[in-house]
A = this chain, B = another copy of it.
């Protein structure tokens, strides 16, 4: 905490702001390995709180955690054709171990459908073994060309659910249940509103029949795919021979699903809530919810500290994640520092506050400053944290709504919209478009304006009658946006 310079403004260079913000807040650091990052304690604690929130929801819906090997034999990857084609270019390979060259290369898992499929074929024999509902928390690897901390790194942490079902209806129900859980979790805990919808065929997971996603709008107007849920049909059941004897005594292939979210969610938190002061974290996930700072000259400090320590103990006792900063730095330095780190609430206590039995509370989300009696300070702090959580969600939702455009009906209009926004130094945001369903029409949008299809939303704000590219009748309504 020795140097203290301002971050690049979001409006000036959002990327630069992001990279500065996450490093200055000590969420991460770059690792000396290509495309890898260190999750520093505050960054990792965000992930631990995400894990806890999701584990609770996964368990409540009947899932259990397990752990499968990280190394996947090359022959396994080959068993589902689309799967290997999709992932092959991004795989790291172990070719030597224990001083010897391996007979078969082992991939560092990019995802675990193959090895789990192999085990499911052994574990699933009868309808009594179904549904099989497992989840895994693990590190995974995708050697991507362009990396960005939290959003796209060579190694990342995630959870991957893998389930097997007796019929399609049940598997599809599971696929939707998990998508709903992701969206609810993001809204409730992360204060991030998500748009649920189906991916177009060109954006499907390699090996899936249908892929669904949740997409959030970052503060630069770009979209971030924050979680996916896949109905895999019988593709992996076929590839790995996962069969069960049904009640009618017939041997049948199971229907499988998979679904995942990753440490990318940490990036989403930062890009949705952060501002020019730095990171801003929702109270439910913040490692530190309240930072307490004593005010006033050192000679008056003793009188302050007695009260100060009492409030600190009371908050801690009540389960509030509170930290005190009694370092030698100036109050102003501390204010900036903890705002930059995203602590939702600041509590200041000076000699005059002590005299009047009150303190000053400053919200990170609005900057609002209020005084509060020390008599019921715990209840007041808890209430404020709840308010901040809700306000952060509302603000993110308003931001998305106000930067989502539904009036654009052609590629020409889309180009005009983008050009106008760029000229005004404004955010282009998301655009709702009609689509005929043709891959080429989707591809042309990307080529011409670098907007990609995010998803076909469930319950779009309005329906579209014509394809944004070819003008033919629209079969689908798509969100288009620049995306991470």
Chain A residues within 8 Å of B, Cβ to Cβ: 29, 31-33, 36-41, 43-45, 47-48, 64-73, 76, 88-99, 105-106, 108, 115, 118-119, 122-123, 134, 138-139, 143-145, 154-155, 157
Contacts and interface: CB of A to CB of B under 8 A. Distances in A.
A65 B38 contact: no
What 7 A-B pairs come out closest when comparing CB atoms?
A: A92-B97, A98-B143, A41-B64, A36-B69, A39-B67, A97-B143, A93-B96
Contacts of A65: 41, 44-45, 48
Contacts of A138: 139
A105 B108 CA distance: 14
Given A44-B67, A48-B65, A66-B41, A98 B108 contact: no
Contacts of A31: 68-69, 115, 119
Q: How many copies, total?
A: 2
A29 B92 contact: no
18 contacts: A29-B119, A29-B122, A29-B123, A33-B72, A33-B115, A36-B69, A38-B66, A38-B68, A39-B66, A39-B67, A44-B66, A44-B67, A67-B157, A70-B155, A94-B94, A94-B95, A95-B95, A98-B144
Contact of A90 (B67, B98, B123, B145): B98
Given A44-B64, A91-B98, 17 more contacts: A29-B119, A31-B115, A32-B73, A33-B69, A33-B72, A33-B106, A37-B69, A39-B67, A40-B66, A41-B64, A41-B66, A67-B157, A71-B155, A92-B94, A93-B95, A96-B105, A98-B145
A371 to B, nearest CB: 33
Contact of A95 (B96, B118, B157): B96
B70 A32 contact: no
Nearest to A96: B93
